[in-house]
Amino acid sequence: MAAHFFPNTFSTCSRGIFFDTLNADAPAVLHFPIMGMARSREAPCGLNRHRLQSLMQREQKKFIDQRPKSRAVFERASKSLLGGVPMNWMTKWAGAFPPFVREAQGAHFYDVDGHRYVDFCLGDTGAMTGHSPSATVTAVEQQLSRGITHMLPSEDSIWLGEELQKRFGLPFWQFALTATDANRFSIRLARHLTGRPKILVFNWCYHGTVDESFITLQNGASRARRGNLGPPVDPSITTKVVEFNDVPALEAALQTRDVACVLAEPALTNVGIVHPAPGFHEALRELTRKHGTLLIIDETHTICAGPGGFTRVKNLQPDFLVFGKPIGGGVPGAVYGFTKQLAKLISERLSLEDCDTGGIGGTLAGNALSLAAMRATLQKVLTKEAFARMIPLSERWTAGVRETITDFTVPWSVTRLGCRAEYLFAAEEPRNGAEAHDAMDFELERFMHLYAMNRGILLTPFHNMALMSPVTEAEDVDRHSKVFRDAVRELVV
């Protein structure tokens, strides 16, 4: 188990402001997140909870004082939007309210108060291309005046099918609007083709809002994940969950031969980064084949490894592959591909009369605008050359963070996958989801994010991830290295 600095004792930490705004008539009340009971416990290098909390208070005040316009907009928004935001997880940003965006371009954006930010969150991968890449914008502008959606194929779909074949090595492709849907459709097909009821996921995975995937392991037993709202059925009925890199557990779960598919990120990216152990992917493929289970590799985030994702870097052989988020440069679009053998089986089992009611679809899926955006993005933005720029920047970001961790001897670590990097509050790199999750420290994480935001840097709100775009600059990275160092220095003095 990776040692971690502060056990997270603040699981009940709430952001009062958002609860207050549930009552639309009540004015939004600005007050700082409650930090729970202070701990006097000190870590060996001098970090303590009292200090963290007083730094957090100082940073919250700075955040609020410097953003009068965002605050005013947020107060207005709170009268018509739940929590004052268009999407509930936007409440998770570390400030007392989210900075409202005026404009984003490339690797930067401005908020309504005129602050400029280096964006390492990049729409949590949706804008890994950089914001509004010109090739995508041009293609979208041209398509806008030629029809947005018509439920008939456009020729861009063929270019895409052929390009996806080359990138990922799978011969047949279909389109969806989100990676969540692409995962759901792949799962449905896997169930349909195998006639098996269950799926298997890895502990602390995230694959979008796929009902079956909201499950975790607790003391060896599978349980609905905390925060899972109104699940249609108990996910332990639909899903088996094992730790990433745990081959014996995987074998035990598959040998009952009731698992239609394994849905896996090839490296976990949603609980920090967890790399596969040597031999894990070989075992995963061998065991899935041995027990008649199909393998869905979800490359939505691991596309950061290169133009063909982790699959191409490591020559994986999935039955299905899913890719979404940045594929359209931020314009909604996603794809899922499968083998020739599966394509034949699917075709044989599809009835023409019922093919529009099979639980796979979406009126706007495969629309002309998405297709045009995806084509331009793959052709001109997420290119081999772009990755050759992005990956060294990520190495630079990692080196900057590592230097501070070493110099201040904080028991943290930093890990990288292609153009994605992440620091964790654990001295050792985690070997599975549980270790990565145990290293999380919501309070410390929020401080690091807020400190960075107050100095013009945006990290993903969910953990400590930074992503490089094709237009991120070395000076952006160096700015983060400096701000990270300053934050750690303040924590440990």
Specify the residue, 10 or 206, whose C-beta has the smaller distance to ligand PLP: 206
Please give the angle made by the CA atoms of 19, 23 and 26, to the nearest 5 degrees.
Answer: 105
Specify the residue, 288 or 300, whose C-beta has the smaller distance to ligand PLP: 300
Binding-site member from 106, 130, 133, 208 for ligand PLP (CB under 6 A): 208
Q: Which residue is nearest to ligand PLP (CB)?
A: 208
- Minimum distance from residue 291 beta carbon to ligand PLP (Å): 24
Q: Which stretch binds ligand PLP (CB under 6 A): 30-38, 136-144, 293-301, 446-454?
A: 293-301
Q: Does 270 bind ligand PLP (CB under 6 A)?
A: yes
- Minimum distance from residue 352 beta carbon to ligand PLP (Å): 29
What is the rounded CA–CA span in Å between residue 411 and residue 163? 44
Specify the residue, 124 or 251, whose C-beta has the smaller distance to ligand PLP: 124
Tell how strand 420-424 and strand 413-417 pair up. antiparallel
Q: Does 301 bind ligand PLP (CB under 6 A)?
A: yes
Binding-site member from 246, 265, 422, 438 for ligand PLP (CB under 6 A): 265
Specify the residue, 183 or 454, whose C-beta has the smaller distance to ligand PLP: 183
Q: Does 308 bind ligand PLP (CB under 6 A)?
A: no
Tokens of 181: 């849907």
Other C-beta atoms within 10 Å of 14: how many? 11
Give the three-state DSSP class for 451.
Answer: helix
DSSP string computed for 406-450: HHTT-S-EEEEETTEEEEESBSSPPSSHHHHHHT--HHHHHHHHH
- Minimum distance from residue 444 beta carbon to ligand PLP (Å): 22
Q: Does 263 bind ligand PLP (CB under 6 A)?
A: no
Q: Does 446 bind ligand PLP (CB under 6 A)?
A: no
Q: Does 311 bind ligand PLP (CB under 6 A)?
A: no
- Minimum distance from residue 225 beta carbon to ligand PLP (Å): 14
Specify the residue, 59 or 299, whose C-beta has the smaller distance to ligand PLP: 299
Burial 68-100 (b: 16+ CB within 10 A, else e): eebbebbbebbeebebbbeeeeebbbbbbbbbb
**Number of residues engaging ligand PLP in binding (CB under 6 A):** 15
Specify the residue, 121 or 342, whose C-beta has the smaller distance to ligand PLP: 121
DSSP code of residue 214: -
DSSP string computed for 317-364: --SEEEE-GGGGTTSS-EEEEE-HHHHHHHHHH--TTTTTSSS---TT
Contact 461, 455 (CB under 8 A): no
- Minimum distance from residue 29 beta carbon to ligand PLP (Å): 31
Q: Does 422 bind ligand PLP (CB under 6 A)?
A: no
β-strand partners of 320: 296, 338
What's the Cα-to-Cα distance from 221 to each of 217, 315, 392, 432, rounded to whole Å? 5, 33, 41, 16
Contact 29, 57 (CB under 8 A): no
Q: Does 213 bind ligand PLP (CB under 6 A)?
A: no
Give the three-state DSSP class for 474.
Answer: helix
Other C-beta atoms within 10 Å of 492: how many? 15
What is the rounded CA–CA span in Å between residue 56 and residue 13? 13
Contact 96, 31 (CB under 8 A): yes
Q: Which stretch binds ligand PLP (CB under 6 A): 70-78, 201-209, 393-401, 480-488?
A: 201-209
- Minimum distance from residue 181 beta carbon to ligand PLP (Å): 7
Specify the residue, 33 or 318, whose C-beta has the smaller distance to ligand PLP: 318
Contacts of 233 (CB under 8 A, 6+ apart): 211
Specify the residue, 15 or 184, whose C-beta has the smaller distance to ligand PLP: 184
What is the rounded CA–CA span in Å between residue 271 and residue 277? 16
Q: Does 298 bind ligand PLP (CB under 6 A)?
A: yes
Specify the residue, 298 or 435, whose C-beta has the smaller distance to ligand PLP: 298
Interface with ligand PLP in residues 77-136 (CB under 6 A): 124
Tell me the HSE value of 481 on the side-chain side, using a 13 A CA sphere.
19
Binding-site member from 63, 175, 206, 451 for ligand PLP (CB under 6 A): 206
Binding-site member from 21, 186, 216, 300 for ligand PLP (CB under 6 A): 300
Specify the residue, 47 or 104, whose C-beta has the smaller distance to ligand PLP: 104
Contact 56, 35 (CB under 8 A): yes
Binding-site member from 207, 431, 449, 455 for ligand PLP (CB under 6 A): 207
Q: Does 370 bind ligand PLP (CB under 6 A)?
A: no
Interface with ligand PLP in residues 166-195 (CB under 6 A): 178-180, 183
Specify the residue, 63 or 244, whose C-beta has the smaller distance to ligand PLP: 244
Burial 246-257 (b: 16+ CB within 10 A, else e): bbebbeebbeee
- Minimum distance from residue 12 beta carbon to ligand PLP (Å): 25
Q: Which stretch binds ligand PLP (CB under 6 A): 49-57, 205-213, 408-416, 464-472?
A: 205-213
**Site residues, ligand PLP (CB under 6 A):** 124, 178-180, 183, 206-208, 265, 270, 298, 300-301, 324-325
